[in-house]
Amino acid sequence: MMRVELVYSPGVTNYKELLESLQMVIAEERLPLSVQVIEDTLSQLEFPAVAAVRVLTMSGQGRTLQYFNDGKFHPCWGVSLSTRCLESLHEFICRAWREVTVEPIVQIHRQVA
């Protein structure tokens, strides 16, 4: 299925606000997802962020949405998102959910038809 992680740098305290926003998006969309909160240095990211939301699939593929001190999200894979923080988070989670659940069904349907 899909795993959602909130990764934050040691010493960062505003990750709790991000966690609340993430849980709100998941609840609004009624997605059967939980969020794993992980403290890590985030040094493996392209640019040092204070927090990041990672979505991982069963196949090991993933996407990361970085959160910086400017209060905005920055995607790591070159897909543009809304400039507003909550809208970006909503787009990110919903897009990942569609890729994991809906698109495989559509592809199978196309092959059968």
Which has more pLDDT, 64 or 8?
A: 8
Question: Which CATH number characterizes residue 79's domain?
Answer: 3.40.30
pLDDT digits (tens, 9 = 90+) for 13-56: 778 888 888 899 999 999 999 999 998 876 665 555 667 788 88
What is the number of domains present in the chain?
1
Q: What is the 3-class SS of the chain, one letter each residue?
A: CEEEEEEECCCCCCHHHHHHHHHHHHHHCCCCCCEEEEECCCCCCCCCCCEEEEEEECCCCEEEEEECCCCCEEECCCCCCCCCHHHHHHHHHHHHHHHHHHHHHHHHHHHHC
Span 57-72, mean pLDDT?
68
Tell me the residue range of the domain where 46 lies.
Answer: 2-112
